[in-house]
């Protein structure tokens, strides 16, 4: 019989080859040390989940996506790919990460990368209520559902290993300030700005602990961008010559400092966690201050429509003002970066905070 005539070394080799074949067939080998990218957050990383929910905040129409594969408007708030897509590609996994609620994808597609983000959401549940989008706790519920499907697909042991080794990208928080605190009186009457930052940090801590207990170990906690320099905020800041709103930028910097403290705290308390802070603020500000070094010509307006206040349904393909070459613009609409800027931010993260996972 085969088992009695084959040497043990040959038998072990045969088993290893079989396991490798199984892994390849199930998508079990990808991206070296990181086999999957799992994304939580807001419109900065939403791959199209808002397409499937009842909200006015959508981008599944032209000219969004005009530079994406096939010119498809997937629901990404950009003319093309967003930062997690470039990060996934850099890890050798796949060129873009699908949205979990997109019915055209299955668990086979999600096994190596999935996005739970929802445009317009924040750490604060009240922020999600503004435009009726997915609150952060619902993103976790979808993650739990995903885990059950992944275990059925790969088997419990392999699925748990996949989730332990995956890289978790978190990008959220801007809407809590610009869509919620500074617009509506609810939170601003309840909290000073300093207390509100601490309130959000408390939610961020609970969120990271939750996904840690669900198996996450490699985590990137994304900071806020230079949100006072977004075209919409420049437009609102017209009394100061449409310069960046330095108050908002200072809030972002201070909040980012608190995220770094949180990273250090959880890194010391949670065994086995590899948590990094990914800076968005400084790379965005550096590009805005030195646009020509990166091939940009416009840092003040978005490419779409007039670029001053339009996003979502106000970003229309019929606008005669929409630019022809988005690569010359830092921003696509009044709130979101172009594909080129997303690529620059992804490269910055890969060369700094995420390099420990390569």
> Which residues are designated catalytic?
43, 333, 336
Q: In degrees rounded to 5, what are phi and psi of residue 165? A: -90, -10
Query: What's the chain's Rg over C-alpha atoms?
Result: 21
| Contacts (Cβ under 8 Å, ≥6 apart) of 31 | 37, 88, 91, 92, 93, 112
Question: Does residue 56 contact residue 119 with C-beta atoms inside 8 Å?
Answer: no
Question: Does residue 344 contact residue 294 with C-beta atoms inside 8 Å?
Answer: yes
CA distances 241 to 182, 235, 245, 248, 310, Å, are 20, 9, 10, 16, 19
Q: Please name which of 266, 261, 332, 334 lies closest in space to residue 83, comparing C-alpha atoms.
A: 332
Q: Please name which of 168, 176, 169, 170 lies closest in space to residue 123, comparing C-alpha atoms.
A: 176
Residue indicated by tokens 């408390």: 202
Give the span between the Cα atoms of 166 and 37, in whole angstroms.
6
Question: Does residue 42 contact residue 122 with C-beta atoms inside 8 Å?
Answer: yes
């Amino acid at each position: 019989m085969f088992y009695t005539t084959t040497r043990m070394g040959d038998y072990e080799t045969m088993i290893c080859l079989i396991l490798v074949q199984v892994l390849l067939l199930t998508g079990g080998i990808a991206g070296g040390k990181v086999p999957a990218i799992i994304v939580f957050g807001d419109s900065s990383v939403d791959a199209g989940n808002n397409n499937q929910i009842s909200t006015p905040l959508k981008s599944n129409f032209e000219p969004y996506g005009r530079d994406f594969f096939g010119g498809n408007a997937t629901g990404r708030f950009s003319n093309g790919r967003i930062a997690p897509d470039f990060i996934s590609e850099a890890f050798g996994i796949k060129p873009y990460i699908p949205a979990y609620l997109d019915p055209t994808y299955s668990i086979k597609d999600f096994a190596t990368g999935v996005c739970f983000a929802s445009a317009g959401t924040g750490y604060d549940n009240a922020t999600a209520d503004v435009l009726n989008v997915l609150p952060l706790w619902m993103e976790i519920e979808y993650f739990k559902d995903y885990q059950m499907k992944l275990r059925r697909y790969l088997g419990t042991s392999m699925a748990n290993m996949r989730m332990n080794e995956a890289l978790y990208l978190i990008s959220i928080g801007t809407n809590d300030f610009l869509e919620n605190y500074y617009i509506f009186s609810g939170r601003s009457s309840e909290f000073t700005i300093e207390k509100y930052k601490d309130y959000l940090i408390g939610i961020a801590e609970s969120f990271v602990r939750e996904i840690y207990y669900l198996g996450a170990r490699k985590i990137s906690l994304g900071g806020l961008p230079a949100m006072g320099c977004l075209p919409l905020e420049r437009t609102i800041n017209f009394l100061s010559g449409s310069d960046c709103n330095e108050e908002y930028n200072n809030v972002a910097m201070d909040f980012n400092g608190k995220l770094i403290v949180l990273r250090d705290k959880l890194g010391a308390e949670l065994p086995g966690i590899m948590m990094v802070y990914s800076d968005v603020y400084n790379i965005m500000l550096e590009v805005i201050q030195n646009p020509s070094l990166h091939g940009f010509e416009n840092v003040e307006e978005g490419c779409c429509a007039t670029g001053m206040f339009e996003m979502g349904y106000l970003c229309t393909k019929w606008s005669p003002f929409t630019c022809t070459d988005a690569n010359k613009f830092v921003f696509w609409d009044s709130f979101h970066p172009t594909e080129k800027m997303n690529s620059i931010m992804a490269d910055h993260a890969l060369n700094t905070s995420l390099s420990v996972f390569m």
